[in-house]
Amino acid sequence: MNSIGTMIKRISGLAGSRDVTDWESEFIRNISTRTNDGVKTTGLSDKQIEIIERIHNQHFA
């Protein structure tokens, strides 16, 4: 099981690619910036964590 921080670091490379939707790309950019690229994840909501896990599992599972 990967930590949320690790997942954010992995999915950050997907932002701006054709592998994710425009919405997902913007979400990834915002989350990466907000968490300092996965370093500070304590302020994330359960819904944000669900989305991070979903994107991560679609591309790295």
Determine contact, residues 49/4, Cβ cutoff 8 Å.
yes
Reply yes or no on whether the pLDDT at 1 is more than 90. no
**Phi-psi region for residue 15, left (φ > 0), alpha (ψ -120 to 50) or beta?**
beta
What pLDDT does 22 receive?
96
Given a contact cutoff of 8 angstroms between Cβ atoms, the answer to whether 28 and 55 are in contact is: yes
Structural domain total, the chain: 1
Percent of the chain with pLDDT over 70: 98
The average pLDDT across 19-34 equals 97
What are the residues whose beta carbons fall under 8 Å from the beta carbon of 11, sequence distance 6 or more? Answer: 28, 52, 55, 56, 59, 60
Each residue of 39-53: pLDDT tens digit?
999 999 999 999 999
Domain that holds residue 52: 4-60
Residue 61 reports pLDDT greater than 90: no
Q: Cβ distance 6 to 46 under 8 Å?
A: no
Q: Tell whether the model's pLDDT for residue 36 goes beyond 90.
A: yes
